[in-house]
Amino acid sequence: MTAPFGERFAAALAERGQFCVGIDPHAGLLHEWGLDDTVEGLEKFALTAVEAVAPYCSVVKPQSAFYERFGSRGIAVLERVIAESRAAGALVLLDVKRGDIGSTSQAYAEAYLDPASPLASDAITTSPYLGFGSLVPFIEVARINGAGLFVLAATSNKEGPEVQEAVTSDDFGGRTVASAMLDHLRELNRGAQPVGSFGAVVGATIDGGFYDFASSPINGPILAPGYGEQGGTAADIVRIFGASAHNVVASSSRGVLRLGPDAVAMRGAVDRANDELRSLLG
């Protein structure tokens, strides 16, 4: 077993800062780089981005869908993105948002978290909306392999509140669904040092106030998408997470990638983001 993900996450943020780059090869970005929307264009784009940012940021987050759309050859590129990012010292958070039940969850977990798989990553995103208990296979495989999970809780998309701000029945605590997910994570991470391996996805652009991260910290990693070009700032991270802000990794994709294929410009964006986050988060 490798060291638990939470331990490696804390060390990565301390060494490389709290900024995560999403390596998301949108067709529009490929065209902006002067590349064709083909597997060859995908490979050039993704591996150039990895070379530019993975040695300098704590976490990279490839979105699997943009590779899957090219079929098996696109998945082969994703495998290289994962391997080369990890070789450069970055943690890889594979954005797959998987959520199912029973043996299907087990198979997904083994595909992405078992070191024997060519897609094995340090952590993945998961969806708990078949019930938090449906994530048990992911949790067990993650524990065995020292991997991590980032569970969708309060996302920044406009459709999210329909589900995430709904209130559960008294049998389930009469709290919002998002709060229930965070409470489950707090229990999973109880007593972990320096931080647990089971994290949450909470948007950097949400209103906040739905959960008291100060009095009930989840003691786990937090992914805050929406930072930068989508409007989220370091001040928002302090506002939303308070004393838990030191466990947040803020994520941006387009704000960095559209500076390519200039590797120096992309690295500069990573440095500026880390400096901004460090100035407010410490």
What is d(CA 5, CA 221) in angstroms, rounded to the nearest whole number?
9
Can you identify the CATH homologous superfamily of domain 5-281? Aldolase class I (3.20.20.70)
Report DSSP state, residue 115: T
Q: Which of 14-23, 170-179, 204-213, 227-236 has maximum average pLDDT? A: 14-23
* Bridge partners, 123 (sequence order): 93, 148
> For 240-271, what is each residue's pLDDT tens digit?
999 899 999 999 999 999 999 999 999 999 99
For the chain, the domains span 5-281
Is residue 135 scored above 90 in pLDDT? yes
How many degrees, rounded to 5, is the angle at CA 149 between CA 148 and CA 154?
Answer: 145
Q: What percent of the chain has pLDDT over 90?
A: 84
Residue with tokens 């987050």: 61
pLDDT at residue 282, as a whole number: 72
Paired tokens of 9: 């996450």
Q: How many CA within 13 A on the CB side of residue 39?
A: 12
In this prediction, residue 17 has a pLDDT band, given cuts at 50, 70 and 90, of very high
> For 61-96, what is each residue's pLDDT tens digit?
999 999 999 999 999 999 999 999 999 999 999 999
Residues marked active site are found at 97
